[in-house]
């Protein structure tokens, strides 16, 4: 085979061995100091007085109420962000319209605004002295210091996660397959269910995992709108703060360890989804004969 028919691969830059070891050591040391050590400390403090004391922390009715509220709020927020993320990603990846850049910027707004400020915004809107406070009071509706306010604050803080995972993925993927399905007589719903959704399922699941983890651990915005009412508006992070301020350290670290376990489970699920998504991309490349190591079709390697 002529040398000109091959694709030239740029040479790999070889760093000195000592530099590689130094960078690896710095990375591992940073992770150990800021990730592993705090996690070990949380579980050590939680179990210091024995496993029986650890379990007693979750027998408290207020702790159980905090667990239920956290799961409820996370489920609602993730469901709302699933709908919003799909709609926003579809709109921004498939259409060009005036205000598109503004919409992209607004999606990133919760990343730029402090969660405490976000909570204050909802207080100014729905609080008793807020913009809609008198109307809500007249209709016997309560948002602030109640579950609806916690759901609104959590949804606001977490809504970029699903959309931001799907938008670049769907833009890179294109819409040729969807156009082909529509040209063959498929309806819009059939195209979405049988073509779009299978193609984006791993990116969607990845965004939902991140969204759920952020919802369960949200503290700042929820702290502002919740009112810290025991057994009613305290989520797990707020319950940890109350226990710690009351010097119930064993119970505080026990509840904190539950949040740490949820974080570890999230990391495992995140890794599995990343691996699955990578395998799907490799499978698609094999079907299209785009493997980097595969020779061009119809030719034998020299």
pTM score, whole prediction: 0.81
d(CA 234, CA 241): 10
- When mean pLDDT is compared across 125-129, 245-249, 294-298, the lowest value belongs to 294-298
pLDDT for 292 beyond 70: no
pLDDT digits (tens, 9 = 90+) for 101-153: 888 888 989 988 999 999 999 999 999 888 998 999 999 999 999 999 999 99
Single out the residue of 221, 225, 220, 209 nearest to residue 273, CA to CA.
209
pLDDT of residue 5: 46
Selected residue with higher pLDDT from 17 and 280: 17
pLDDT of residue 147: 94
> What is the average pLDDT score of the chain?
85
The confidence band for 76, taking pLDDT boundaries of 50, 70 and 90, is: very high
Single out the residue of 155, 171, 159 nearest to residue 90, CA to CA.
171
pLDDT of residue 13: 58
Residue bearing tokens 């949040």: 259
């Amino acid at each position: 085979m002529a040398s000109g028919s091959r694709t030239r691969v740029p040479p790999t830059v070889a760093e000195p061995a000592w530099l590689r070891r130094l960078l690896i050591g710095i990375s591992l040391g940073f992770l150990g100091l800021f990730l592993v050590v705090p996690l070990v400390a949380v579980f050590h403090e939680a179990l210091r007085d024995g496993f029986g004391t650890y379990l007693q922390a979750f027998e408290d009715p207020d702790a159980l109420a905090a667990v239920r509220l956290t799961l409820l709020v996370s489920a609602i927020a993730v469901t709302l962000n699933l709908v919003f993320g799909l709609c926003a990603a579809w709109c921004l990846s498939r259409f060009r319209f005036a205000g598109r850049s503004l919409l992209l910027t607004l999606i990133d707004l919760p990343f730029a605004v402090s969660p405490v400020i976000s909570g204050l915004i909802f207080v100014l809107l729905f609080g008793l002295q807020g913009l809609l406070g008198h109307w809500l009071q007249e209709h016997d509706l309560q948002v602030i210091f109640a579950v609806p306010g916690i759901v609104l604050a959590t949804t606001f803080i977490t809504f970029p996660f699903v959309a931001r995972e799907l938008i670049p993925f769907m833009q890179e993927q294109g819409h040729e397959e969807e156009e082909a399905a529509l040209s063959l007589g498929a309806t819009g719903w059939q195209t979405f269910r049988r073509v779009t959704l299978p193609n984006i399922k791993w990116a969607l699941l990845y965004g939902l995992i991140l969204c759920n983890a952020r919802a369960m651990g949200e503290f700042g915005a929820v702290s502002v709108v919740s009112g810290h009412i025991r057994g009613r508006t305290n989520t797990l992070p707020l319950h940890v703060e109350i226990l710690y301020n009351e010097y119930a350290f064993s119970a505080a670290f026990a509840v904190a360890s539950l949040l740490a376990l949820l974080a570890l489970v999230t990391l495992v699920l995140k890794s599995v989804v990343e691996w699955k998504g990578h395998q799907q991309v490799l499978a698609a490349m094999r079907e299209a004969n785009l493997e980097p190591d595969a020779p061009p079709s119809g030719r034998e390697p020299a």
